Amino acid sequence: MRKCILIIVLFFVSCNDDTKIVLASSGNLNEISIVVQDQLWEGSVGKALTSILSKPIYGLPQQEPLFKLRQIPPRVFSGFVTKSRTIIIIENNKQKNTRLLLNKYASPQTVIVVSGTTSREIIDELKKHSKKIINKIKEAEIKEKQRRIRKSLSNSHALDSIFKIKLDYPSIYRVAAVDRNFVWLRKDTKSGSVNLSVFQTPLKTNRLNTEKIIIIRDSVSKQKIPGPTKETYMSTETQYKPVLVPTKIKKHKGLEVRGLWEVKKQFMGGPFINFSVVDSINNRILFFDGFVYSPGTEKASYIFEIEAIIKSLKILK
């Protein structure tokens, strides 16, 4: 008789000289299990959770949520259900509070508990800590995506030879073009492609802003990334305002810009994400420009993958 063997990955964690077994977490990327009573989920608390956590991602041609939410009634929150990688627990009729629990039921795992004596207090807690909650979950999801990417890394040395940097990106990406101060990585998909171009400029005293970054990316795109026909090229979509936010990759300060790109007269376009990172040691600014062409499909996961790749940046000595 054949036996079916279920193999479960276990983590052994030492705590106070006691060894306990912690199951590996599971779940889709950017999906949150919301442990909340049905009546709260169907009322104002559920609406607040959805508006905060499932708001549309800026910089995509169609609406896609920041996180996908899956409601779980407390009565069924046990066993394998508790092994979700990201969990938010809503506690009613308890003192107002928001707390973070790491690796509570599995590893890696982020559990956020939001409490309040009333629905109003719970909503106030969610709004008060919304930015921290989103940042914490996104940070954990980026790390998980990077872990998955590391399972099958590209062995190309193009970025090292040109820029003396290292990015962890999947082996499915190929080097589409290499030039002085320019590398273009590309992953072909059924509906189009996922792309990341890397280039650099000297570090100057003038501070970057959205307008300057767009001018630089459009100039490079015009020279290095041709369109499908002669004299066509990618440029930033001017009708959709790009949004800039300060960011940091490892210890390096930078700026993140999201928006849409187009190839005029070709009915081509899609989302882009651009990171400009200050490398003061080498007196330069590194630009990482990711863009997706995938008509008729959701694109959030592609942009998320590019972001995870860029945030794996290591500047080599």
How many C-beta atoms surround the C-beta of residue 276 within 10 A?
23
Query: The tokens of 199 are what?
Result: 């280039």
Q: Which residues contact 277 (CB under 8 A, 6 or more apart)?
A: 249, 252, 253, 254, 285, 286, 287, 288, 313
pLDDT at residue 88 greater than cutoff 80: yes
For the chain, how long is the longest CA-to-CA vector?
74
- For domain 154-315, give the CATH superfamily: Mog1/PsbP, alpha/beta/alpha sandwich (3.40.1000.10)
Calculate the CA dihedral of residues 297, 299, 300, 306 and round it to 10 degrees. Answer: 150
Q: Which residue has the tokens 């189009």?
A: 192
What pLDDT is stored for residue 264 in this prediction? 79
pLDDT tens string 98-108 = 999 999 999 99
pLDDT at residue 16 greater than cutoff 90: no
Taking residues 66-93, report their average pLDDT: 97
pLDDT at residue 13 greater than cutoff 90: no
Q: What is the pTM of this model?
A: 0.91
Task: Pick the closest to residue 267 from 223, 237, 290 (CA basis).
Answer: 237
Taking residues 159-183, report their average pLDDT: 96
Taking residues 28-44, report their average pLDDT: 98
SS (HEC) of the chain: CCCCCCCCCEEEEEECCEEEEEEECECCCCEEEEECCHHHHCCHHHHHHHHHHCCECCCCCCCCECCEEEEECHHHCCHHHHHECEEEEEEECCCCEEEEEECCCEECCEEEEEEECCHHHHHHHHHHCHHHHHHHHHHHHHHHHHHHHCCCECCCCHHHHHHCEECCCECCCEEEEEECCEEEEEEECCCCEEEEEEEEEECCCCCCCHHHHHHHHHHHHHHHCECCCCCCECEECCCCCCEEEEEEECCEEEEEEEEEEEECCCCEEEEEEEEEEEECCCCEEEEEEEEEECCCCCCHHHHHHHHHHHCCCEECC
Burial tier of 143 (Cβ tally within 10 Å: 0-12, 13-18, 19+):
middle
What pLDDT is stored for residue 265 in this prediction? 77
What pLDDT is stored for residue 9 in this prediction? 35
Question: For the chain, what percent of residues have pLDDT higher than 70?
Answer: 93
pLDDT at residue 7 greater than cutoff 60: no
Taking residues 3-7, report their average pLDDT: 36
pLDDT tens string 197-222 = 999 999 986 789 999 999 999 999 99
The answer to whether 12 and 95 are in contact (CB under 8 A) is no
What pLDDT is stored for residue 19 in this prediction? 53
What pLDDT is stored for residue 280 in this prediction? 92
What are the boundaries of each domain within the chain? 26-148, 154-315
pLDDT tens string 275-289 = 999 999 999 999 999
Taking residues 178-203, report their average pLDDT: 96
When mean pLDDT is compared across 11-15, 35-39, 155-159, the lowest value belongs to 11-15
pLDDT at residue 152 greater than cutoff 80: yes
Taking residues 292-309, report their average pLDDT: 97
26-148 fold = Chitobiase; domain 2 (3.30.379)
What does the alpha-carbon distance between residue 43 and residue 117 come to, in Å, rounded to a whole number?
A: 15
